[in-house]
């Protein structure tokens, strides 16, 4: 049971503050799913951004000091420095601030997760900046993404431009389009990243300082290991699945195609070559 203190309207926004009463149940709800549990007990709140009026923002104070914020289309949302849960409609911009924020958007979003370990998901045509911290990003189609510092986990579809940034990042590109993929940009100092390709033809764009001459690619089964002479800190491992391929693209415009080794089916090797 959750108590609602008041409902104050300023412009298009409505602010609801939760009382500390029934602290036990409210804290449990916050832990489980900050949003759904609390919202279900407050009839005045619409958790679906598309059911909000244009640029309308509903904000609820959570027990942890963060906020649950729902914004309609074209809304401009600012989070707190605590852990916020944000649901934003299309064409919205979000600045989640510090804290471990959970941000969901759809298309044409502009999202900045700020510091903290953020979880961000968008559909298409969006710009996403994870900021510092170990962020988890779910990226659909044709977005521009910057993971920022920290060990980020990025899952992407096709047509995206991805800068994973500093830290040891895990990038998965899918979309089930054998001839299409996303572009990952990798610069000196970006650390040890891994790229998993699922039925994808993607591009790894290597920044200044990386050349075909100082780049070494080792292929074993469905795995490629990319390392750089004179640079112990940076490297990329690539796992290929379902006929995937990766094009290395260097700053001088040259390209190298990387594919997994052609291995005979185990059934044939078991019986020897006929």
Instruction: Identify residues 95-134 at the interface with Ca ion (CB under 5 A).
Output: 96-97, 99, 101
Give me the least distance between CB of 96 and Ca ion, in Å please: 5
CA distance 221 to 231: 25
In the complex, minimum distance from the CB of residue 209 to Ca ion, in angstroms, rounded to a whole number: 35
What's the rounded Cα separation, in Å, for the pair 113 and 148? 10
Contact between residue 134 and residue 152 where contact means Cβ atoms under 8 Å apart? yes
Give the nearer residue to Ca ion in terms of CB position, either 146 or 202: 146
Which residue, 92 or 182, has its beta carbon nearer to Ca ion?
A: 92
Q: Which is nearer to Ca ion, 62 or 236 (CB)?
A: 62
The residue number whose beta carbon is nearest to Ca ion equals 99
Closer to Ca ion by Cβ: residue 66 or 174: 66
CB of 118: closest distance to Ca ion in angstroms?
8
Q: Burial level of 223, CB count in 10 A (0-12/13-18/19+)?
A: middle
Question: Percent helix, strand and coil across the chain, each rounded to 5?
Answer: 10, 45, 45
In three-state secondary structure terms, 50 is helix
Would you say 115 or 163 has its CB closer to Ca ion?
Answer: 115
Q: Which is nearer to Ca ion, 96 or 226 (CB)?
A: 96
Closest approach of Cβ 243 to Ca ion, in Å? 41
Q: How far is the CB of 152 from Ca ion (least distance, A)?
A: 17
**Shortest distance in whole angstroms from residue 120 CB to Ca ion:** 12
CB 34 → Ca ion: shortest distance, Å? Answer: 12
Encode 117-154: b = buried (16+ Cβ within 10 Å), e = exposed.
Answer: bbbbbbbbbbbbbbbbbbbbbbbbbbbebbbbbbbbbb
Q: Are 187 and 207 in contact (CB under 8 A)?
A: yes
Q: Tell which positions 206-235 bind Ca ion, by CB under 5 A.
A: none
CA gap 196, 200 in Å, rounded: 9
Question: Under the criterion CB under 5 A, does residue 169 sit at the interface with Ca ion?
Answer: no
Task: Dig out the tokens for 60 from the structure.
Answer: 């609820």
Spatial CA neighbour of 215 closest among 235, 233, 197: 235
Work out how close the CB of 115 gets to Ca ion at its nearest, in angstroms, rounded to a whole number.
8
In the window 44-103, what residues touch Ca ion (CB under 5 A)? 79, 84, 96-97, 99, 101
# of chain residues touching Ca ion (CB under 5 A)? 6
Q: State which residue, 52 or 117, has the beta carbon closest to Ca ion.
A: 117
Q: Which long-range contacts (CB under 8 A, 24 or more apart) does 1-8 make?
A: 1/25, 1/41, 2/26, 2/29, 2/38, 2/41, 2/42, 4/42, 4/44, 7/44
Question: Closer CB to Ca ion, residue 77 or residue 154?
Answer: 77
Residues that bind Ca ion (CB under 5 A): 79, 84, 96-97, 99, 101
């Amino acid at each position: 049971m959750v108590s609602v203190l008041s409902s104050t309207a300023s412009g298009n926004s409505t602010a609801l503050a939760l009382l500390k009463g029934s602290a036990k149940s409210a804290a449990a709800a916050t832990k489980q799913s900050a949003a759904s549990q609390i919202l279900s007990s407050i009839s005045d709140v619409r958790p679906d951004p598309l059911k909000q009026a244009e640029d309308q923002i509903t904000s609820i104070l959570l027990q942890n000091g963060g906020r649950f914020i729902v914004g309609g289309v074209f809304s401009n949302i600012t989070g707190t420095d605590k852990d916020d849960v944000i649901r934003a409609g299309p064409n919205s911009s979000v600045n989640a601030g510090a804290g471990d924020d959970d941000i969901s958007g759809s298309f044409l979003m502009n999202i900045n997760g700020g510091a903290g370990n953020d979880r961000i998901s968008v559909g298409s045509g969006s710009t996403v900046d994870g900021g510092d911290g170990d962020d988890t990003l779910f990226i659909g189609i044709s977005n521009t993404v910057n993971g920022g510092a920290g060990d980020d986990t990025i899952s992407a579809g096709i047509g995206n431009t991805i800068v994973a940034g500093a830290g040891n990042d895990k990038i998965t590109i899918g979309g089930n389009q054998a001839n299409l993929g996303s572009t990952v940009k990798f610069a000196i100092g970006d650390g040890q990243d891994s790229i998993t390709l699922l039925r994808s033809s993607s591009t790894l764009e290597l920044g200044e300082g990386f050349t075909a001459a100082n780049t070494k690619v080792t292929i074993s089964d469905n795995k490629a290991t990319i390392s750089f002479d004179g640079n112990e800190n940076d490297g990329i491992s690539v796992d290929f699945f379902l006929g995937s391929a990766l094009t290395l693209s260097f700053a001088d415009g040259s390209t190298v195609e990387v594919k997994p080794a052609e291995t005979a089916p185990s059934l044939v090797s078991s019986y020897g070559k006929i």
